[in-house]
Amino acid sequence: MPFAILLAMSIIVSVFVGFGLGVGVFVTAMCLLGGLGYRFHVDLLSQKTRQISDASRIHLATVEALATAIDARDQIGIGHVRRTQIFAVGIGRALNLPDGDIEALRTGALLHDIGKLAIPDHILNKPERLTPAELEKTKIHSTVGAAILEKVGFDTPVIPTIKYHHERWDGAGYPEGMKAEEIPLTARILSVADAFDTLRGARPYRPALERDKARKIIQAEAGTRFDPMIVDTLLRNLATFESEIESHGLSYFNSSAMGKLMVDHHYVEQIKLANREVISLYELAREFSSSLNLDDALGMFARKLGEMIPFDTCAVYLLDGPKRQAAAAHVIGANSEALLSRKVRVGQGATGFALKSRETVQKADPDLDFSYSQTEFVGEYRTLASLPLIADDEMIGAVTVYSSDLSEYGEEHIRLLETVSHIASEAIGKALKHDEAQTHALTDPMTGLPNARSLQIQFDKEVARASRGSSSFQLLMLDLDGFKAVNDTFGHKVGDMMLKEIGRVIRGQLRDYDFLARYGGDEFVALIPETSADEVVDLCDRIEKAVTEFRLPIEGSDIAPSVGVSLGASGYPKNGETFDQLIVAADKVMYARKANRKKFQLTHNAMARPMPRSQSAVEQENDYSNESLIVDLDESHVMASSAVN
């Protein structure tokens, strides 16, 4: 009893004794004092109750905020823990569980995933199926969660509820492989509540499921994964639970309510964005490391930027060999076709300045990029940001994003742009080196034409195409005549120049989809698809004319002697189905024609009179009617045989 009341009672007793008052008056006074003491105790108890209630409310709000933040890291979003709580508590009440178990379900539902703090983000948010090792890693979250909460000192069975909520009715669960009623009842309830809400919500690896489909899955797993009695309780009371969820604005497809929650829980979106950035960067690094294809690397880079940074157009520029200008190697968004392959001089415009200074350009006028050439885009964009791409401390290009809506790119945009670009630069640099090495491996360094290895690859492609379409193609073998005299007279340096220029001349007579390679020495091979006999004859006439008319000027001297060319052709599949077969066939008739031409020239010189063209043609057709196309360009004789398809 409070000291003040005891003191008052002592004084009253003394007064009554001193003044000799009656017992009735004394009793009345005592009753009045007792009433005052009772009201004092009631007020004190009410105050303590309010304090406990406020502390409990703050404690519960703290727990809920923590749980929501954990779910945000898992990209689950707002509502999962609250809905799971409504399901779990509702099932507990329907089963008439004691208050302690109800409180364990209330708290356990909020904190059941706290152990996911120990699981790496790239596993939690992986969009594909988890590997066995990754799946095992996720299983630690129930025991880790229980360990985190052990020291809190809950006076209800919160810890076992969380620790065992992934045990299965058939004993195949974790962490201890309990089965049936060995599993704590609250853990069995939480298992069903958590699973149903998880099915109803979207996840990084799958979309949300409709109500009926989720019900069927839960029902189908009663007796194996779940306690059948608890599944039955959930489904019988599902409408009631969903009504409560709706009243709290937590329904699965209530966009307006969720929109309000987004505002009220702005920190949730910040956490989700932060973890989404980590996942995007992880996926970017993983995907880049698995590909050395330049086009794939550029496309992936632009797509990932689009997931993180707003733009209307994104262009990736790559520097040329001398590093004097860059070309748009990949463009996505508005005006992509018009901007693809556009050239930017280093130092010219905003992108050119980024290339020259090796520094990020932001808040720049995008018209600076177009005023020198593509003036039709002047005024179309409001702002841009351009960042240099540097790999191994070497400038390789720049990425520029253009926006028609933003007034400027902010610091957060630039931070993301720099982060993604840093990862992409290394991958693009490796892809460029890979392309360069591959080009060298497939290119003749002297002429710049494809080499014999590249010829074999292209031949295989032509065979596959011809087989699919039941079509044919021609293989032309070209050998230069008189080339040795150039080497002997002017040296190999001039000879190399002659080979390069003759290759360019021959290439100029072919179609874009024809293929020309240097086969070796002074020999070239061309693959000519879908060509008739007349077209081959016309092609050979044009090649002969172009080659014989070409003159190579030599510094400080006269022009080098002209060269001629002899040609033999074989057709696929009539003269062979393999590369070696067609080469042998074409080579045989080409050299036979060379020998015949030399014989003719000797006879012609001795007789000092020209051989009529018709006679030569008849003779050669009789001699080589079973061979391929024979072309002796020095004599302007073209023979077509049945080998030409």
How do residues 130-183 score in pLDDT, each as one tens digit? Answer: 888 888 888 998 998 899 888 777 888 999 999 999 999 999 999 999 999 999
Is residue 404 over pLDDT 70?
A: yes
pLDDT in tens, 480-539: 988 888 888 888 888 899 999 999 999 999 998 899 999 988 999 999 998 887 788 888
pLDDT of 266 reads: 54
pTM of the model: 0.46
* pLDDT band with cut points at 50, 70 and 90 for residue 416: confident
pLDDT of 362 reads: 86
Is residue 631 over pLDDT 50?
A: no
**480 contact partners, CB below 8 Å, separation of at least 6:** 499, 502, 522, 523, 563, 564, 565
pLDDT of 638 reads: 36
The whole-number average pLDDT for the span 285-309 is: 77
Nearest Cα neighbor of 285 from 417, 416, 122, 423 is 423
pLDDT of 224 reads: 96
Is residue 282 over pLDDT 70?
A: no
Is residue 84 over pLDDT 90?
A: yes
Identity of the highest mean pLDDT range in 17-31, 138-152, 211-225: 211-225
Strand, helix or coil at 421?
A: helix
Scanning the structure block, which residue is given the tokens 């006074």? 29
Bridge-based pairing of strands 564-572 and 473-481 is antiparallel
**CA-based end-to-end distance of the chain:** 119
* pLDDT band with cut points at 50, 70 and 90 for residue 26: low
Which structure tokens are listed for 152? 């809190």
HSE at residue 491, side-chain half, CA atoms within 13 A, is 3
In this structure, is the dihedral angle defined by the CA atoms of residues 594, 595, 599 and 602, taken in order, positive or negative?
A: positive
The whole-number average pLDDT for the span 411-415 is: 86
The whole-number average pLDDT for the span 424-446 is: 78
| DSSP secondary structure letters along 476-535 | EEEEEESHHHHHHHH-HHHHHHHHHHHHHHHHHTS-TT-EEEEEETTEEEEEEES--HHH
Scanning the structure block, which residue is given the tokens 């006439």? 541
pLDDT of 643 reads: 38
> 34: part of which helix (H) or strand (E)?
helix 23-73
pLDDT of 633 reads: 38
- Select the more confidently predicted residue: 76 or 486: 486
The whole-number average pLDDT for the span 235-241 is: 95
Task: Decide if 395 contacts 388 (C-beta within 8 A).
Answer: yes
Is residue 204 over pLDDT 80?
A: no
Nearest Cα neighbor of 449 from 505, 378, 395 is 505
The whole-number average pLDDT for the span 37-44 is: 66
Task: Decide if 484 contacts 498 (C-beta within 8 A).
Answer: no
Which structure tokens are listed for 561? 């002697």
Is residue 418 over pLDDT 60?
A: yes
Is residue 370 over pLDDT 70?
A: yes
- Select the more confidently predicted residue: 476 or 57: 476
* pLDDT band with cut points at 50, 70 and 90 for residue 92: very high
Is residue 51 over pLDDT 70?
A: no
Q: How far apart are CA 147 and CA 316, in angstroms?
A: 50
- Select the more confidently predicted residue: 644 or 542: 542
Q: How far apart are CA 209 and CA 446, in angstroms?
A: 63
Is residue 578 over pLDDT 60?
A: yes
Task: Decide if 111 contacts 159 (C-beta within 8 A).
Answer: no
Q: How far apart are CA 240 and CA 232, in angstroms?
A: 14
Task: Decide if 16 contacts 26 (C-beta within 8 A).
Answer: yes
Q: How far apart are CA 137 and CA 387, in angstroms?
A: 39
pLDDT of 554 reads: 78
| DSSP secondary structure letters along 154-177 | -SSSHHHHHHTTT--TTS--SSS-
Task: Decide if 2 contacts 37 (C-beta within 8 A).
Answer: yes
Lowest mean pLDDT among 190-194, 389-393, 426-430: 426-430
Average pLDDT across the chain, whole number: 79
Lowest mean pLDDT among 79-88, 222-231, 576-585, 593-602: 593-602
The whole-number average pLDDT for the span 19-48 is: 61
Bridge-based pairing of strands 637-639 and 630-632 is antiparallel
- Select the more confidently predicted residue: 364 or 215: 215
Is residue 543 over pLDDT 60?
A: yes
**385 contact partners, CB below 8 Å, separation of at least 6:** 360, 361, 362, 364, 400, 401, 409, 413, 414, 417
pLDDT of 314 reads: 94
Amino acid letter, 624: Y
Work out the angle at residue 86's Cα, subtended by the Cα atoms of residues 49 and 202, and round it to the nearest 5 degrees. 140
Identity of the highest mean pLDDT range in 37-46, 274-283, 426-435, 523-532: 523-532
Lowest mean pLDDT among 115-129, 133-147, 254-268, 531-545: 254-268
Q: How far apart are CA 98 and CA 329, in angstroms?
A: 69
Lowest mean pLDDT among 202-206, 262-266, 568-572, 589-593: 262-266
pLDDT of 64 reads: 60
* pLDDT band with cut points at 50, 70 and 90 for residue 18: low
